[in-house]
Amino acid sequence: MIEATPLPGVFQITPPRHGDARGFFSESWNAKTLRNAGLELPAFVQDNHSMSVDAGTVRGLHYQSPPHAQGKLVRCGRGSIFDVAVDVRKGSPTYGKWFGTELSYENGRQLWVPVGFLHGFATLEPESEIIYKCTDHYAPECDGAVRWDSVGIDWPMGDLEPILSEKDRAAIPFAEFETPFNYED
Ligand SMILES: Cc1cn([C@H]2C[C@H](O)[C@@H](COP(=O)(O)OP(=O)(O)O[C@H]3O[C@H](C)C(=O)[C@H](O)[C@H]3O)O2)c(=O)[nH]c1=O
């Protein structure tokens, strides 16, 4: 159900699915179940849902700086994505290191991305949807972006042409990024 990753603090979570002749039921998030499994997540205050029409859509690498930094619990409701977290906590032993994993409707896997990490994803199928819980509200004045292709992430895009927003096309390279996050926070 809960798997550690090479980035301390980032976890993969796969809630059980109860199948029957109609399909399945799953508690996609249950604070008590996670607490009993040893994972205490901060409170969530906002749910987001985005749909990307084409495979190869890249959203990220994004963050919100303090005082509205966000932890995110990400899942894929339709299709599949390659979801990535990058450690950007000054002083962290894994600073600049990334972890990526496939989240899909099929595998039901989720990724917990704590405060202090960049988050981004690439869609692997058309009309892929992500649904994610955030630990702080949207604060455009705190919104930041780092170029998706400037961290050395091994995106599984194959020959897909990346589709980016204007904001993401104009994002700064990681080498110029000054993180607002500290490891001991
Ligand atoms: C994030 C956000 C956006 N918006 C509005 C602002 C724009 O008018 C529109 C699209 O925003 P944006 O292009 O920033 O959306 P994404 O590129 O999907 O950004 C998100 O994608 C990456 C992967 C993330 O982890 C963040 O949650 C977030 O940065 O939605 C809102 O109204 N509320 C929000 O919380």
Instruction: Give the pLDDT score at 185.
Output: 58
Distance CA 148, CA 155 (A): 9
Domain 2-16+27-179: CATH architecture, name and number where available: Sandwich (2.60)
DSSP SS3 for 53: coil
Q: Has 132 been annotated as catalytic?
A: yes
Domain ranges of the chain: 2-16+27-179
Q: pLDDT digits over 98-152, tens only?
A: 999 999 999 999 999 999 999 999 999 999 999 999 999 999 999 999 999 999 9
Of the residues 68, 105, 119, 132, only one is catalytic, namely: 132
Q: Has 63 been annotated as catalytic?
A: no
CA of 38 to the centre of ligand 1 (A): 30
Which residue's CA is the nearest one to ligand 1's atom 34? 138
| 107 CB-near residues (< 8 Å, 6+ apart) | 14
How far is C-alpha 112 from the chain's CA centre? 7
Is 59 touching ligand 1 by the criterion CB < 6 Å?
yes
**ipTM of predicted complex:** 0.97
pTM score > 0.90 for this model? yes
Q: pLDDT digits over 65-105, tens only?
A: 999 999 999 999 999 999 999 999 999 999 999 999 999 99
